[in-house]
Amino acid sequence: MKKLTILGATGTIGLNTLDVVARNPDRFEVFALTANTNDEGLAQQCIDWQPRFAVMADSQGAQRLRERLGGQCKNTEVLEGVPSLELVAGSPEVDFVMAGIVGAAGLLPSLAAARAGKRVLLANKEALVMSGRLFIDAVRDNGAELLPIDSEHNAIFQCMPPNHHGGLEVAGIRRILLTASGGPFRESSPAELAKVTPEQACAHPNWVMGRKISVDSATMMNKGLEVIEACWLFETTPDCLQVVIHPQSIVHSMVEYDDGSVLAQLGNPDMRTPIAHALSWPERMGSGVDSLDLAAIGGLSFESADMQRFPCLRLGFEAAAAGGAASTTLNAANEIAVAAFLDGQIRFTDIATLVESALDKHPGGEPRSLDEVLAIDASARRAACEQVARLAA
């Protein structure tokens, strides 16, 4: 029986993880559940799962959670704040940590899990994008396991040889083909993109996701972040990666070998597949996902990614090539820009403008400590906020 901490339990990844765990009750025990502001959702999860710990982001949320629970979870201790997130991620009792917190907020607890030698199920790509080498070194130096949950990176992992460490060349791989749905604006004109509303941007055609990641998918920044993530996960460079638009979201990514073979992982667009794979690896277990009916789908199509229509994808490649502080800056500026767009302060097309401006000013170099990463992140956020104010004026 493996003990599991779920960081971001009330979000899409957390809900899907609990669904998979419920289908395999003999394999997992929920040790800790965490949430940002959704105390109502976390309270119900605590009643259902009776975890040892429940963590809210702040003291007000924790107090609301205690009041909601009353005496229904006598063995659940309610905690609060980042140190408590790190505690439940790195506890000696925990085997697996689902890193499902969205954005930079997930960095510290995810890193704590890596430093404690856990199996880290990484759905929070921003943690790796921000800290890069520091995160990978923490995994290696502490004997942790890093398994990707993003459907694309999980697909690549499944298509690679069992022992693929040492880079693509050692594994006999020519390139990685990273698929993308293209989001809701794949065929939109520049004039149409300038008028996009938050509601339109959050209406993804294939996947059910939170608002921030839905906007990232619409701008294709999500794919730019995934390019950076893939470079770290698979020890490669952006010139060995190609983004291919695949509107059906059935082929989740592909790996091309030196002999010309291309291996692909296919499945219905359901996050329970990569979650179940990472929880049970190297074995397989049931996920609740329906069988893929290719005859009913009828056809699969692919096209080149348009980096002029989606400059955020270009920026992701550029940050991956620059390395170091560029990726941290890209992520920080994008989080500020997306929040401003969702609040109605800037236009959809301003997101790329704001991020590019931040990258033009980034300090360069490779952060040598977590403090340096956090300082670069904070500086980029301040600059991005100033740019938002200018654009909104």
Peptide bond preceding 92 in cis form (omega within 30 of 0): no
Question: Which strands sit side by side in the sheet containing 53-56, from one edge to the other?
Answer: 77-80, 53-56, 28-35, 2-7, 96-99, 119-122, 145-148
Contact between 108 and 86 (Cβ < 8 Å): yes
Question: Angle, to 10 degrees, between the axis of helix 81-90 and the axis of helix 107-115?
Answer: 30
Round to whole Å and give the CA distance between 288 and 272. Answer: 7
CA distances (Å), origin 91, targets 23, 88, 107, 156: 25, 5, 17, 30
Beta bridge partners of 265: 253
DSSP assignment string, 154-185 = HHHHHHS-SS-TT-TTTTTEEEEEEEE--GGG
Round to whole Å and give the CA distance between 329 and 304. Answer: 27
DSSP assignment string, 320-350 = HHH-THHHHHHHHHHHHHHHHHHTTSS-TTH
Show Cβ contacts of residue 146 under 8 Å, excluding neighbours closer than 6 positions: 114, 120, 122, 136, 139, 233
Distance of CA 373 to the CA centre of its chain: 18
Show Cβ contacts of residue 299 under 8 Å, excluding neighbours closer than 6 positions: none
DSSP assignment string, 257-301 = ETTS-EEEEE--S-THHHHHHHHHTTS-----PPPP-HHHH----
Could you say which residues of the chain have pLDDT below 50? none
Helices (H), the chain: 12-22, 39-49, 59-69, 81-90, 107-115, 125-131, 133-141, 151-159, 190-193, 198-201, 211-219, 221-233, 272-280, 294-297, 311-322, 325-342, 350-360, 370-392
Round to whole Å and give the CA distance between 77 and 79. Answer: 6
Owner of token pair 């619409």: 218
Q: Is 219 left (phi over 0), alpha (psi -120 to 50) or beta?
A: alpha
Contact between 391 and 354 (Cβ < 8 Å): yes
Give the pLDDT of residue 352: 96
Beta bridge partners of 7: 99
Is the four-CA dihedral 156, 338, 371, 85 of positive or negative sign? negative
Domains and CATH numbers, the chain: 2-148 (3.40.50.720), 156-269+292-392 (1.10.1740.10)
Is the four-CA dihedral 52, 58, 64, 66 of positive or negative sign? positive
Give the pLDDT of residue 208: 65
